[in-house]
Amino acid sequence: MKKLIAICVIFAVVAAAAPVANALVTIDFDAYSDYQNLDGINLGGVTLTTSTGTVEVFANRDGASYRSPINSVSSPTGKDPIIGVFDVPVIYVSLWAGDVGGVGDDDDQWQLDAYDAPFGGNLLGSVTSPIWIGDPYVQLSITATGIMRFEATWLGQVGGIAYDDLEFIPIPAPGAILLGSIGVGLVGWLRRRRTL
């Protein structure tokens, strides 16, 4: 009986630690330092990269704007695509983009693409922002099953773009759901047996 109780406790702990469906994760980049390179660092469910090897944190310098209170991220030029690879498939990804600074009256536009693999894969969704001028941030989002990677690409002609407030919703692994169900079932069975 003690072994069964121990097994139930283990299942319950694992079930509690398993990812929860529809739990929105937000990364606002405010915990990082100005000029810090986040390229290749797992930020808690997602790893950002660029072709230049630099995903630079921008505080409000050189006129760079941001949506959250302190920081945004970009490549050093503001022109290179930012690629995000998720640890597990997600069903929703959202990102905000705004002027990286330097030229306040340039036209900005950007595109968000979602794929079903960390490299290559099938395009699950693509959305392009309208053209805008100045500091306001513009949000793009994609909802699709099994997103493993997103690419954020600046389409403007002058200046560059910075990104902020990355949000995504992970899909729990089927094994975690099964394990959680078994744990809950064992605890229920144990309680029922004790009352008989």
With 60 as the cut, is the pLDDT of residue 20 above it? Answer: no
Query: If you average pLDDT over every residue of the chain, what do you get?
Result: 81
**Among all chains, which residue has been given the structure tokens 């079932």?**
185
The 10 Å Cβ neighbour count of residue 159 is 20
Between residues 109 and 135, which one has the greater pLDDT?
109
Confidence of residue 19 (pLDDT cuts 50, 70, 90): very low
pLDDT of residue 177: 45
The domain locations on the chain are 1-18+174-196, 21-172
Residues 95-134 pLDDT 10s: 999 876 555 567 889 999 999 999 999 999 999 999 987 7
Q: What is the largest CA-CA distance in the chain?
A: 76
88: tokens are 């597990």
With 90 as the cut, is the pLDDT of residue 33 above it? Answer: yes
- Which CATH number describes the domain made up of 21-172? 2.60.120.200
pLDDT of residue 176: 46
pLDDT of residue 70: 84
Name the pTM for this structure: 0.76
C-alpha–C-alpha distance, residues 123 and 48, integer Å? 18
With 60 as the cut, is the pLDDT of residue 61 above it? Answer: yes
